Amino acid sequence: MCLSTVYKNEKKPETVAMRNVMHIECKDGCVILTDLMDRQMAIEGQLVEANLVDGFVVIKETA
């Protein structure tokens, strides 16, 4: 199972949005994240990068 850490705007420890993300859906200008415990978070923005080997995703927020 590949779980990822999602970052807002850039990959820095202080920009972590959610850890242990198992599902990502892009819908209506939002990126919807679901973690291993089935918690959800929606971030207005777009997917910039997803590196599943290294386990990280970057989302650029819209202001």
What confidence tens digit (pLDDT) does each residue in 29-53 have?
Answer: 999 999 999 999 999 999 999 999 9
- Tally of domains within the chain: 1
Map tokens 């920009």 to a residue. 15
**Domain with 39 in it:** 4-61
**pTM of the shown model:** 0.94
Q: Check residue 2 and give its pLDDT.
A: 83
CA distance 1 to 17: 20
In Å, what is the CA distance from 1 to each residue of 31, 50, 59, 62?
A: 21, 15, 21, 30
Residue 1 has pLDDT above 90, yes or no: no
